[in-house]
Structure 1
Amino acid sequence: MANALLIIDMQIGLYDGPEKPFERERVLATINQLIQRARAVNAPIFVARHTGPAGSPIEAGSPLWQLWPGLAVDAARDHLFNKTRPSCFFGTDLAQQLAAAQVDELVIVGMKTQFCIDTTCRVAVELGFSVILPEDGHTCMDTPALSAAAIIEHHNATLAGAFVKRVKAMDVWSSCDQASN
């Protein structure tokens, strides 16, 4: 199986907005570790930016739309693309790019768990991709109804089995760590 890493919405306006994501520093470190591992096995990296309409805080090119500077993405080698919906596939050419790269399995990480992570996992499966969801590689903010921790655990449990293979991030491309030791 060919693998690719899909990073969703790790942008300044979401990562460092007025409401901070749950365990954001740990999740960022986890995603950066997965970027390193993807590079070690030459897995392509796709990076989605949520793009709002003109005049919105996250309109294309605005400061809050930019990727978080601590994210170890390389715009020259990674595949950056914009989306306007929770699904990374709707209105984008992501499916075509994945097909061209002969990718059939996606590792999905980023933000926000109950919106773009959940939707993209479900749509990816509908499109015929296998999905690996690192249970510790996505985050969101607290809501009035649920804590972020509860949202994350609920989605990890709900998506596991029918939609994704739920794993710990340390188990994704884990042979990379053994090879470098």
Structure 2
Amino acid sequence: MVEVRMRVNGATATLDIEPQVSLLDALREHLGLTGAKKGCAQGACGACTVLADGERIVSCLALAVQYEGREITTVEGLADGERLHPLQEAFVAHDGLQCGYCTPGQLCSAVGMLAEHRAGTPSAVTERLAAPAAELSEAEIRERMSGNLCRCGAYNGIVAAIREVAATGEGVAG
């Protein structure tokens, strides 16, 4: 067993876990944070996406011990008390969810993706790599969110929600 300390959703967490425990399992089984889902357990579906120091990661492929001393944000940590994060509000308003299984990962990924875009990180479809971050096109959003799958097909609502929040700049870190 090893002791791992990290900040999760703003609170310090100390875990006594085996070194091979994934970050996803540490969050779900040891901290009771079940928002991040275990989908494929291979890093292909994005259902387990969380933010590590503001960057999106698939937590099923990360060992909890790798995140000693780091800040982890799960979907449970996006809201500000009773006030939903702007992306959560937009997902509801634009029907960016159906069954909801992928939604926590989609939301965390969208928060991280908007921060990446604001920082000028290009995607595979970015036309001018040296240009300042422009308005996110539908193609940019779809490419940047392609690591998060939705079996229900709520992609149109997800894209609309992200575009709305990107246009306002509200709730976008960076």
- Global fold match (TM > 0.5): no
Q: Which has the higher strand share?
A: 1
TM-score of the aligned structures, taking structure 1 as reference length: 0.30
TM-score of the aligned structures, taking structure 2 as reference length: 0.30
Which structure is larger by alpha-carbon Rg, 1 or 2?
A: 2
